[in-house]
């Protein structure tokens, strides 16, 4: 057994999309890490395929969104049907994101793009390396890992991120357990080449008396297909269904869909659960290690990756000495309620989709009515695309100023309505904090704030002023109006794109108050 160098600053356990996001975000901030995974090779199963708007915003900040978008198909809405009649149609084009759509691409592609990014940062995944033991004290963590050749190693590290999935060894070794429901509806899932007349730019839910069918078009005639199945009580779950099994269900319930080839077929049972805490001393749990739920709405991988994105900049700040214990604790405070809402939302979707008898008739009638209300569709689009996620009241945001702002601390920074302004703001480095100074329309631009952060001036005339890293001309005061900062103000944007503080221009200490807050 050997000890690793004391310069190691963190270990990520698990190299799926969640662990890879955590590793990339730590590595690009200069944190010395190792990432291990018990699989000898990356998975060949397509698994989670939907990447929603908020996650695409995240990948944009990571600098890899174009690489990822090139792998998949854009889905611009959701349609729901019963007996061939459209009940509900939700369009995503109104969500506040630079990417108002879902990207449908196999998880293998998501992992490939993230792995290539990690390699470019000088870090390689240590495969065939399984976590078998963990001990921690006030000063650090000691991991025991076993390699595929039977050899073992002890790894001493200050911090651990457990991203090793629903059967997490990290979760087990810190003594945490998922609390929830572990028996539910069963589904057959196929990643198939299929012929269909369904709109390729939308995701589809087709209700039938025997159970729902979900059809999600991907690239080149490929589609993700799911359908509820009804096994006899006590029947073991069949993990190796056939293409004929799925085709028979499609023919019986909806018709018009012909499977020509299958890439991956499986069955699963819906489970819902969450650990009571996301931090256990020096160990953090992210993704399926912390929460599991129905795949309805495609929220699982997205929620997990955003867990990792939220945690990584905070852990990097703590390692550098810029963040305190309160900032680390804010990971649980911010992300636990998000998964709680996802579990509730996905559970309601699953329940609604699997109603029987008279309840099904009532559901269809209600959906027909609700589908005619634009506000309902907008709200559902925001839920699916995860645009409404916010951290208002978090211990890692500074609340309460200025009074007249339309934006609030804790919400994600709104994307400017103007495409050119959005493009200019998108050029700003996002590895650290950014302080946006919005000059009062027609007023004199103030001096830049405290050094050590990226400073961007948004002014009507675009005048260059010393102390700013970037000056964005906004002659129509579009951003000032959109943010409700008609008298100007400073907006502190966290590395994850959420607002840490909003400060009046005449407040000399507001920005520093925020950085003092997260340093505690």
pLDDT beyond 60 at 419? yes
What fold does the segment set 419-519 form as a domain? Glutaredoxin (3.40.30)
Q: Give the residue range(s) of CATH 3.40.30.20 domains in the chain.
A: 419-519
**349's tokens:** 């979707």
Residue 217 DSSP symbol:
E
- The more confidently predicted of residues 484 and 466 is 484
What fold does the segment set 10-71+106-180+276-352 form as a domain? FAD/NAD(P)-binding domain (3.50.50)
Name the helix (H) or strand (E) containing 23.
helix 17-27
The CA distance from 323 to 320, in Å, is: 8
Q: Give the residue range(s) of CATH 3.50.50.60 domains in the chain.
A: 10-71+106-180+276-352
**Contact 43/22 with Cβ under 8 angstroms?**
no
**pLDDT tens by residue, 264-273:** 999 999 899 9
Put simply, whether the predicted model's pTM sits higher than 0.85 gets the answer yes
> What beta strand segments (E) does 119-235 contain?
125-127, 129-136, 141-147, 152-157, 160-162, 179-181, 186-196, 203-207, 213-217, 222-229
**pLDDT tens by residue, 391-402:** 999 999 998 766
Q: Across residues 326-337, what is the average pLDDT?
A: 98
pLDDT beyond 90 at 223? yes
Query: What sign has the CA pseudo-torsion 238, 291, 212, 243?
Result: negative
Confidence band, pLDDT 50/70/90 cuts, at residue 286: very high
Class of 73-103+186-269 per CATH? alpha beta
User: Mean pLDDT: which of 147-156, 291-300, 413-422 is highest?
Assistant: 147-156
Name the helix (H) or strand (E) containing 80.
strand 77-82
Going by C-beta distance under 8 Å and a sequence separation of 6 or more, which residues neighbour residue 399? 392, 393, 408, 409, 410
CA angle 248, 254, 255 (to 5 degrees): 70
Confidence band, pLDDT 50/70/90 cuts, at residue 212: very high
Residue 278 burial (CB < 10 Å; 0-12/13-18/19+)? buried
Confidence band, pLDDT 50/70/90 cuts, at residue 1: very low
**Contact 26/310 with Cβ under 8 angstroms?**
no
Strand, helix or coil for residue 496: coil
Confidence band, pLDDT 50/70/90 cuts, at residue 245: very high
For residue 427, the model assigns a pLDDT of: 59
**Contact 331/309 with Cβ under 8 angstroms?**
no
Residue 136 to residues 144, 155, 219, Cα–Cα distance (Å): 12, 12, 46
**pLDDT tens by residue, 122-131:** 999 999 999 9
Q: How many helices (H) and strands (E) does the chain have?
A: 13, 27
For residue 285, the model assigns a pLDDT of: 98
- The more confidently predicted of residues 370 and 282 is 282
């Amino acid at each position: 057994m050997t000890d690793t160098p004391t310069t190691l600053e963190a270990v990520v356990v698990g190299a799926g999309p969640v662990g890879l996001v955590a590793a990339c975000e730590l590595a690009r901030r200069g944190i010395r890490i190792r990432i291990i995974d018990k699989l000898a090779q990356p998975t060949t199963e397509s698994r989670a395929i939907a990447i929603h708007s908020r996650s695409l915003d995240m990948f944009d900040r990571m600098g890899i969104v174009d690489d990822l978008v090139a792998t998949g198909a854009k889905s611009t809405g959701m349609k729901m049907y019963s007996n061939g009649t459209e009940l509900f149609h939700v369009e995503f084009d109104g969500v506040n994101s630079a990417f108002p759509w879902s990207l449908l691409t196999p998880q293998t592609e998501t992992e490939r793009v993230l792995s290539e990014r990690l390699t470019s940062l000088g870090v390689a995944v240590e495969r065939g390396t399984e976590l078998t033991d963990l001990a921690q004290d006030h000063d650090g963590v000691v991991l025991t890992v076993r390699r595929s050749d039977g050899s073992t190693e002890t790894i001493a590290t200050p911090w651990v991120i457990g991203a090793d999935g629903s059967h997490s060894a990290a979760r087990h070794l810190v003594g945490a357990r998922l609390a929830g429901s572990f028996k539910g509806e069963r589904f057959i899932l196929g990643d198939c080449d299929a012929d269909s007349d369904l709109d390729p730019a939308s995701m589809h839910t087709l209700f039938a008396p025997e159970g729902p069918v979900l059809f999600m078009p991907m690239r080149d005639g490929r589609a993700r297909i799911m359908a509820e199945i009804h096994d006899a009580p006590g029947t073991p779950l069949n993990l190796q269904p056939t293409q004929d099994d799925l085709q028979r269900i499609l023919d019986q319930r909806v018709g018009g869909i012909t499977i020509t080839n299958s890439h991956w077929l499986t069955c699963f049972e819906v489970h819902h659960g969450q650990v009571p805490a996301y931090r256990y001393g020096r160990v953090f749990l992210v993704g399926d290690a912390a929460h599991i739920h129905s795949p309805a709405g495609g929220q699982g991988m997205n929620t997990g990756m955003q867990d990792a994105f939220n945690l990584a900049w905070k852990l990097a700040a703590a390692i550098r000495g810029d963040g305190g214990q309160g900032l680390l604790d804010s990971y649980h405070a911010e992300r636990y309620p998000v998964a709680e809402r996802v579990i509730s939302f996905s559970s309601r979707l699953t329940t609604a989709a699997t109603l029987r008898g008279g309840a099904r008739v009532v559901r269809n009638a209600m959906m027909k009515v609700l589908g005619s209300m634009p506000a309902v569709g907008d709200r559902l689009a925001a839920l699916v695309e995860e645009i409404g996620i916010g951290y208002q009241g978090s211990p890692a945001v500074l609340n309460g100023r200025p009074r007249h702002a339309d934006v609030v601390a804790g919400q994600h920074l709104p994307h400017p309505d103007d495409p050119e302004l959005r493009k200019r703001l998108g050029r700003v480095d996002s590895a650290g904090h950014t302080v946006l100074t919005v000059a009062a329309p027609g007023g004199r631009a103030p001096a830049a704030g405290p050094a050590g952060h990226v400073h961007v001036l948004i002014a009507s005339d675009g005048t260059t002023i010393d102390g700013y890293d970037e000056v964005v001309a906004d002659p129509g005061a579009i951003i000032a109006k959109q943010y409700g900062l008609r008298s100007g103000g400073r907006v502190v944007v966290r590395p994850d794109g959420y607002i840490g503080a909003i400060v009046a221009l005449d407040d000399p200490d507001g920005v520093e108050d925020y950085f003092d807050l997260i340093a505690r």
